[in-house]
Amino acid sequence: MSATRNAHFLRERDGTHAAVTYVELFFDLIYAFAVTQLSHRLVHDLSLAGAIETLILWFAVWLGWQYTCWVTNWFDPERIPVRLLLFAVMLVGMVMAASLPLAFDTRGLMFAASYGVLQLGRSLVVLVFLGPRHALTANFRRIAGWLAISGCLWIAGGFATGGTRLAWWSAAVLCEYLSPMFGFPLPGLGRSTGADWRSAEGGHIAERCQAFVILALGESVVMTGGNFSDLGTWSLPTAIAFAVCFAGSIAMWWVYFDTSSRAGSRAIEESAEPGLMAAAFHYVHVVLIAGMIAAAAGDDLVILHPAARVGVAEAWLLVGGPALYVVGNGLYKRVVYGGFPLSHWIGLALFALMVPLALHTDLLMTGTLTTVAMVVVAVWESVSRRSARQAEPLSVH
């Protein structure tokens, strides 16, 4: 196949913004399901081993979404072959997501196989789309090579058990997560450079990340409402817990979307290396959304057992989830604005103070305190950013 024949599958780069399509948003629903699965998995296993296993699985889920996001950044999802590819990835992704709760138990091989097919299969189809002579072909060959290596590690872990499975899958995650940082180097294929990513549409990547954040927040809200609805009796503590968790979700939305989401889109579009900045967005969002998953699991506990005493595992979940979300937001804003916000440092200090206090109180009080801290971060950040914007015209004159 010639490069000319296959070029019509690519998005047209005419200087306009590459809009996020409805089929991309439809594709994201698979990952909404996966986020819910991971949150429930964490609630049912609060041990250190359970948390590490959930983290490994989250990295895999994010990497599957991230690599597909890059494909739809270059290829037009409105073209039927690309759309059919997305639907095929969705089908395999559903199997992968359904396997998550028992991935470290009886469905390890099913998870590994579906994930490996999703990653490598998508990349091989992209190479068919491109043909042998397109400018992007060498880059996707390297990507496919690394995904083949990681796929072997995933399958090896699927056949293993216990700690051995964790070791294989940890190596697979590192393989997929770190290889882009070094340009996917492979013998005989060389390595990718910044020029290979320069044609990426950075604004599209920013919007895709923002869509995933709102999707994960939406799942958190749905889970909060679902848990409240499933309670046999609505008491005053459970009603307060419901209000506290909902307020926490609003504060999390505010921290991310009030000002920085628009600034992030602008920064990536104006960057001299939009592709590389877009890659940085992917690296920080994996931390940010991991915090959301943990926070959603904490909300589950608060609504279902508001009066229960807080143990060490519950304290780290209820405080650590929102704290991790603030860390992720701070890293994101460091990429956008060039510095870690003071409001986020204050929030992290408040969370640190809560850890020993949480061990002497109940879930509802701890959840209330973390929500208050998140509101403080949201208000402080909003006021400081808006004040800075209002002062900008004065500095010009």
Residue 273 banded pLDDT, cuts 50, 70, 90: low
Helix (H) or strand (E) holding 40: helix 22-44
Most confident of 10-24, 222-236, 364-378: 364-378
pTM over 0.75? The answer is yes
The answer to whether the Cα torsion of 200, 204, 206, 211 is positive or negative is negative
**Stronger pLDDT, 19 or 327, i.e. the higher one:** 327
pLDDT tens across 106-155, in order?
Answer: 999 999 999 999 999 999 999 999 888 888 888 899 999 999 999 999 99
| 13 has pLDDT over 90 | no
pLDDT tens across 88-109, in order?
Answer: 999 999 999 999 999 999 999 9
Cβ pair 295, 220 in contact under 8 A: yes
Q: To the nearest whole number, what is the mean pLDDT of the chain?
A: 87
| 278 has pLDDT over 70 | yes
Report how far residue 252's alpha carbon sits from residue 137's, in angstroms, rounded to the nearest whole number: 40
Residue labelled with tokens 């602008």 = 266
Domains of the chain: 19-197 (no CATH), 202-389 (1.20.1410)
Segment 155-170 shows an average pLDDT of 95
| 15 has pLDDT over 60 | no
Give the least confident one: 5-9, 15-19, 301-305, 336-340: 5-9
Q: What are phi and psi of 155, to 5 degrees?
A: -65, -40
**Stronger pLDDT, 180 or 64, i.e. the higher one:** 64
pLDDT value, residue 395: 40
What distance lies between CA 68 and its chain's CA centroid?
A: 13
pLDDT value, residue 5: 47
| 4 has pLDDT over 60 | no
pLDDT tens across 179-218, in order?
Answer: 888 888 889 888 877 666 655 666 788 888 888 999 889 8
Beta bridge partners of 362: 309
Give Cβ neighbours of residue 29 (< 8 Å, ≥ 6 apart): 215
Residue type, 319: V
Q: What are phi and psi of 268, to 5 degrees?
A: -70, -35
| 314 has pLDDT over 70 | yes
pLDDT value, residue 194: 63
pLDDT value, residue 397: 34
Report how far residue 114's alpha carbon sits from residue 121's, in angstroms, rounded to the nearest whole number: 10
Report how far residue 162's alpha carbon sits from residue 166's, in angstroms, rounded to the nearest whole number: 7
Tell me which residue of 162, 130, 150, 183 sits closest to 60, measured CA to CA. 150
pLDDT value, residue 311: 92
Give Cβ neighbours of residue 266 (< 8 Å, ≥ 6 apart): none
What is the 3-state secondary structure of 115-158?
A: HHHHHHHHHHHHHHHHCCCCCCHHHHHHHHHHHHHHHHHHHHHH
